[in-house]
Structure 1
């Protein structure tokens, strides 16, 4: 059924475009099928009416009108194609570059586009030709100077809408440069609507060429051109109708066909076909071949449950150490912090969970060290990846240095796989590119073998079949597994998973959590998992950092935080988790109020307005992250809480409140 509908749609489109296609074909074949030379005349045979010898008659100089019509199609459509090629190429490239770079470049290009679009195109063409004189080259230049702007506007709008998409974050994480991102991933989707607009622009350019030739400013005699034929046939409208009517009908047919074709494509009926035309093709191998091998064999396996000695090791085993991390964004005349003074670390073979409500700052804190935030974000503090000679400070890295780390030593799995994966490329193309960027690829067959190994490692059945499918053909869980395969391509030391299971049903959630745990055990990777669900992280994490209002309010080993929470916010999150043994009809316990403001919008504890244990000191004194038991050993992974109401701290009379949060 779908195939028949697609076939009928193609048939209707072909019928609409028939005049355009017909004249393009006869123009190409004009030297072969034309019965005579269009520039050679015979004064004794001038103004002959249509006859078997001259199907469209002859002009006043005795030249065959059919031959001139065929060569006129050749010249008119060649000039149109040249103008379209220049305008489409220049406009799309300029618009895509401006939309991608943003800032002052985007503003400057936008103003130039506005100026060019506001100018009457024909007046611009007349001014250029008036200065440079008539001729084919000057005609193409004149029409191109005002035809590029609409394409630039369309491409800029399309690319600007994708500039902050997770898809581009994933590409930057893989180490892709600006040229590759623009050329391979932004130009193709920007080119699709430009091609639709070009189909409508064909008629306008043909009409402009004919108009300028009619005014004597286009193609100069004796070359045949439809507009030139109109001006030559105008004095003979009454006596020799065959001079003006055929070129006029040809111009009208091409213009109408182009406009109707553009309307059909703009309506979206044939847009998938256009997208297929501009879909990126396989590129040449970026690096010399290397032997393919499974990612699972590249690191020493670790025990499923790390021994206590490893849990209490010193900082030399820490894969990522973040200290005093702060992130701010422009706000009016100043800046507003969304993350303030966060410190955390994750060790090899361990999983750290950052937990909190939406807007708490957990995702910002996880992605900030790797430069995956908005360009307007200012990140301060320290974030060190690795130890010893391989340790690198991640904050304030140059783009080139960051590309050597992101996608290689660090992998990221984003929340929305449908936005991260390019809908125009197959799953195999995504993983292939990651493999090539990390230097493990070679010839296409070698790269594809590594890709299939990664897909198999990520738990996808029949990797060869999955590699040929597009993102929309996979379920949400399979897309997340494909993201994991991409992240594993560089054999990373650290994997950051941002809400990896939030959009999945509970069965698929369990499978993905089991997969992450298995990868941690088999590959010895460190992981940072961002989640709002304590029930999810309780099945996966080794340690937990609870985030509220841009600050960590409680952290420590998972078992301690879950079984003996100290901060009222942590207790509230635990109370909100459904309990399997609860009686039917039991209402969920919720925290009063709304999510807290940013760290700069409150003087004291950000949770004070919602806390049932609030005291006077809570609203004026920002709490420090300290051990609830003051005589606890000062270990990095010790249980800590940012609450002024620790049991070990003295409380004013009447201020201490007991009972559940």
Structure 2
């Protein structure tokens, strides 16, 4: 942690002055335009024919035009006009484009196809011709100019936002959020739209110059800002008869347009987006009695007079649709899990361990076809609707994913990430207290400080503990730990395993441990389920692993590295935290 924070600070220290330097011309012009009524030495529309076409002097620093109007005053007021139009156009284009692109990618299906077609159609039409057509039909006015430029400008923002959201939807951070049971609207407004906004904001800095140039171009053609309102493009139009005799008429507005465009283009290459955008918190509706697993468990137990298994798999089958046809990942899996029990699922890569845990929760992807039965406290999850699954994820079953860095959104602070899993949802000081308490329970030192950090500022072990804290935020009955020690060193692995053991005992959790590491299994699990090729080949008590008889289990045990025999003829064995079976 201490090694990465200074690097990030140093990088920010390098970028920030450069960004300010590049933005300074644009900011100064905007400030001058905003203060035009107080900074301009004269009225921009005051004419004096006796002083027409005078060169720069102490009376008129940038000379006068053909009507004797003060050129400096007109330049200052033109900045106000041009940048005001650009600000309105960019705001509308940004909001419309990002919203359409983000919603299309988030919804998928026909909605996404319609958005794609609309963006492609808008980008295929020459922008200047489209703006000319709109103004020609609706008439020449400032509102029509803004409308025309907005219709021209929204499509690139939509395309950028769509690409950002599609990338986010395929990320481990998105899967982790869904695994916590977050409501789709909360995901949309708290994660998807901010994710889409950041690259779009970078593009917006480039678009400043483009909108100013478009406004000037339309005014140059007589379809933009009409006289006597000063505008840089209009000033260039009026200077055409005097290009050879009055350079002060065309050079200042031309320089102003160039500076704005160049500043925006250079700024876009170094733009640093604010790391945290305000997010809209939407409370997840509580599950109805018919879909509440805890209520269902109590009702079923009362009817039958015997306890219902907390988690029960019966003939679970998972197939994936591929270009070469269906591929069976899980082929008839059966097991049960009771409260407070630790079940380890082991096997080589591709044996179906992780898929068997995530598929019943709807986390195996759109190409997964799930059959059979997976009951949580008597509530069937296979074939259940999204509302039921969302009520279960996070609040009943939480998942600690394998790669902590990929599962944490790098653009959000740790505290905000953990707060997304709180059940019931909380905000403000209450959420802060609960998050700090969870981080402390996960064994993180100085949890108040950790809550304000970003994932890249933490070590691998600390990030794994953050995932554990996020999983506990919904007070679940079951935690699925998907190879929680894979990317960690031996010392950190032991700490994480000790953390899981402690939390499991203190909270009475049922734990499903997916792992290649037989050392982890031996020290933490009550039972071990050995999988091979999508099938459970053996189920055995953890303390009986040395006596396992199935050939696949024996192969896994033999894969554990062993020390050579000692002189006394005894053999010492070592637990391997990197046994890849």
With structure 2 as the length reference, what TM-score do the two structures score? 0.88
Inter-partner Cα distance in structure 1 for 2:531 and 2:15? 54
2:507 is the counterpart of 1:523: yes
Mapping of residues 117-196 of structure 1, within 5 Å: 117-196=123-202
2:557 corresponds to which residue? 574
2:486 is the counterpart of 1:502: yes
Task: Render the CA deviation track for 1:532-584: whole Å, top value 9, x for unaligned.
Answer: 22232111111111111111111132233x12323211111111011245579
Is the 2:421–2:470 Cα contact (8 Å) retained in structure 1? yes
Do the aligned partners of residues 422 and 315 (structure 1) sit closer, same or farther apart at CA in structure 2, a change above 3 Å counting? farther
Do the aligned partners of residues 466 and 210 (structure 1) sit closer, same or farther apart at CA in structure 2, a change above 3 Å counting? same
Do the aligned partners of residues 219 and 8 (structure 1) sit closer, same or farther apart at CA in structure 2, a change above 3 Å counting? same
2:221 is the counterpart of 1:215: yes
Task: Render the CA deviation track for 1:321-346: whole Å, top value 9, x for unaligned.
Answer: 01111112222385332212111111
Structure 2 regions of 5+ residues with no counterpart?
Answer: 1-5, 285-304, 575-579
1:203 corresponds to which residue? 209
Is the 2:283–2:425 Cα contact (8 Å) retained in structure 1? no
1:492 corresponds to which residue? 476
2:46 is the counterpart of 1:46: no
Q: Of 325, 336, 351, which residue of structure 1 is paired with 2:342?
A: 351
Is the 2:316–2:371 Cα contact (8 Å) retained in structure 1? yes
1:61 corresponds to which residue? 67
2:404 is the counterpart of 1:433: no
Inter-partner Cα distance in structure 2 for 1:189 and 1:10? 21
Which is helix-richer, 1 or 2?
2
1:374 corresponds to which residue? 365
Count, aligned residues: 548
1:550 corresponds to which residue? 534
Is the 2:186–2:281 Cα contact (8 Å) retained in structure 1? no
With structure 1 as the length reference, what TM-score do the two structures score? 0.78
1:245 positional shift: 1.9
Inter-partner Cα distance in structure 2 for 1:554 and 1:18? 69
Inter-partner Cα distance in structure 1 for 2:199 and 2:394? 31
1:102 corresponds to which residue? 108
Inter-partner Cα distance in structure 2 for 1:348 and 1:587? 33
Inter-partner Cα distance in structure 2 for 1:230 and 1:37? 19
1:5 positional shift: 6.8
2:382 is the counterpart of 1:395: yes
Inter-partner Cα distance in structure 2 for 1:372 and 1:69? 59
Indicate the larger mover: 403-412 or 37-46: 37-46
Inter-partner Cα distance in structure 2 for 1:243 and 1:434? 62
Is the 1:426–1:467 Cα contact (8 Å) retained in structure 2? yes
1:27 positional shift: 0.6
Indicate the larger mover: 250-259 or 41-50: 41-50
Inter-partner Cα distance in structure 2 for 1:219 and 1:162? 41
Inter-partner Cα distance in structure 1 for 2:131 and 2:443? 61
Is the 1:320–1:347 Cα contact (8 Å) retained in structure 2? yes
Do the aligned partners of residues 395 and 473 (structure 1) sit closer, same or farther apart at CA in structure 2, a change above 3 Å counting? same
RMSD: 2.7
1:174 positional shift: 2.4
Is the 1:342–1:552 Cα contact (8 Å) retained in structure 2? yes
Inter-partner Cα distance in structure 2 for 1:412 and 1:492? 10
2:356 is the counterpart of 1:365: yes
Is the 1:407–1:490 Cα contact (8 Å) retained in structure 2? yes
Q: Alignment partner of 1:316: what SS?
A: coil
Is the 2:78–2:232 Cα contact (8 Å) retained in structure 1? yes
Inter-partner Cα distance in structure 2 for 1:440 and 1:33? 51
Q: Alignment partner of 2:307: what SS?
A: helix
Task: Render the CA deviation track for 1:272-330: whole Å, top value 9, x for unaligned.
Answer: x32xx15234767959xxxxxxxxxxxxxxxxxxxxxxxxxx97252100111111222
2:218 is the counterpart of 1:233: no
Is the 2:189–2:280 Cα contact (8 Å) retained in structure 1? no
1:375 positional shift: 2.0
Task: Render the CA deviation track for 1:354-402: whole Å, top value 9, x for unaligned.
Answer: 111111111000111111111222211111112xxxx321122222222
1:17 positional shift: 3.0
Q: Alignment partner of 2:63: what SS?
A: coil
Is the 1:102–1:160 Cα contact (8 Å) retained in structure 2? no
2:277 is the counterpart of 1:280: yes
Inter-partner Cα distance in structure 2 for 1:513 and 1:239? 83
Is the 1:191–1:278 Cα contact (8 Å) retained in structure 2? no
Is the 2:168–2:195 Cα contact (8 Å) retained in structure 1? no
2:394 corresponds to which residue? 407
Inter-partner Cα distance in structure 2 for 1:39 and 1:493? 74
2:312 is the counterpart of 1:316: no
Structure 1 regions of 5+ residues with no counterpart?
Answer: 288-313, 589-593, 596-661
Inter-partner Cα distance in structure 1 for 2:36 and 2:108? 47
Inter-partner Cα distance in structure 2 for 1:329 and 1:118? 37
Is the 2:227–2:234 Cα contact (8 Å) retained in structure 1? yes
